[in-house]
Amino acid sequence: MADPALTLKDVRFRWPGRSSFGLSVPEFRLEPGASVLLLGESGSGKSTLLSLICGIVTADTGRVTVGGTDLSVLRAGARDRFRAERIGVIFQQFNLLPYASVSDNILLPLRFAPDRRKRATPDEAASLCRALGLPEGITAATAGRLSVGQQQRVAVARALIGQPPLIVADEPTSALDAATQDAFLGLLFDRIAATGSSLLMVSHDERLGARFDRVVHLSDIARTGRAAA
């Protein structure tokens, strides 16, 4: 039986400082190939949770396990390599290199992830662009000259290349109108289905929930605030 894509167990974390923000998650689990929408308002702790899941910070106590690997046993450099290999991240602000080509932006994670690079096919960047509805030949274009919608799709292609088992998306639809949101999610779920990756998307928009296997409110799985940890 395959390991869960993600588990958090008895996790507690507090940012440094006497009155700093803390997060406590007794238990959370994401199954392989499943999609979960995690809802929470701004300032509710979503970004802190994503930082823990991606290994950017480590829990003070408890375990964050991605695909059977406990992140707490890895040193900082090993966590960075593990994240590059196993997690595709779609950032809210896309975080593309504006002066680099679309191709270079999509291929960037593979520079730090040799196993993921082996899983990628030679034409995967171009095929992902086609599957996401981007124009033919766009891989040679400069990322900073693209429209917002095109940049968003390039960010998705970068997260998906090399088929990482876990995709984490941070408010990727927040700047889109309803029609564009729907089209974007359709493309994203088509690609997730093709690769078999698990998806955790955080948002404040409950209207997105119909497409996901499960909708979870952060307040139902976590305690946050100065008393949380």
Q: Work out the percent of the chain whose per-residue pLDDT is above 70.
A: 96
Q: Identify the band that residue 152 occupies on the pLDDT scale cut at 50, 70 and 90.
A: confident
pLDDT for 184 equals 80
Question: Which 3-state string (H, E, C) describes the chain?
Answer: CCCCCEEEEEEEEECCCCCCCEEEEEEEEECCCCEEEEECCCCCCHHHHHHHHCCCCCCCEEEEEECCEEHHHCCHHHHHHHHHHHEEEECCCCCCCCCCEHHHHHHHHHHHCHHHHHHCCCCHHHHHHHHCCCCCCHHHCEHHHCCHHHHHHHHHHHHHCCCCCEEEEECCCCCCCHHHHHHHHHHHHHHHHHHCCEEEEEECCHHHHHHCCEEEEHHHHCEEECCCC
Q: How far is CA 127 from the centre of its chain?
A: 21
Q: Which residues pair with 82 in a beta bridge?
A: none
Give the pLDDT confidence of 164-217 residue by residue, as tens digits: 999 999 988 776 777 777 878 888 898 888 889 999 999 988 888 999 999 999
pLDDT for 182 equals 82
Task: Say how far apart CA 214 and CA 36 lie, in whole Å.
Answer: 5
Among 70-79, 153-162, 204-213, 219-228, the minimum mean pLDDT is found in 219-228
**Does domain 6-225 correspond to CATH entry 3.40.50.300?**
yes
Task: Say how far apart CA 20 and CA 42 lie, in whole Å.
Answer: 16
For residues 184 and 173, the answer to whether their CB atoms sit within 8 Å is: yes
The stretch 22-51 carries a mean pLDDT of 92
pLDDT for 175 equals 67
Q: Which residues pair with 29 in a beta bridge?
A: 7
Q: Identify the band that residue 120 occupies on the pLDDT scale cut at 50, 70 and 90.
A: very high
For residues 143 and 105, the answer to whether their CB atoms sit within 8 Å is: yes
Does residue 156 have a pLDDT over 80?
yes
Q: CA-based angle 4:10:11, to the nearest 5?
A: 90
pLDDT for 173 equals 78
Give the pLDDT confidence of 73-117 residue by residue, as tens digits: 999 999 999 999 999 999 888 899 999 999 999 999 999 999 999
The stretch 17-35 carries a mean pLDDT of 89
b/e code 127-152 from CB counts within 10 Å (16+ = b) = ebbebbebeeebbebebeebeeebbb
Enumerate residues 6+ apart whose C-beta is below 8 A from 142: 98, 99, 100, 101, 102
Q: Identify the band that residue 21 occupies on the pLDDT scale cut at 50, 70 and 90.
A: confident
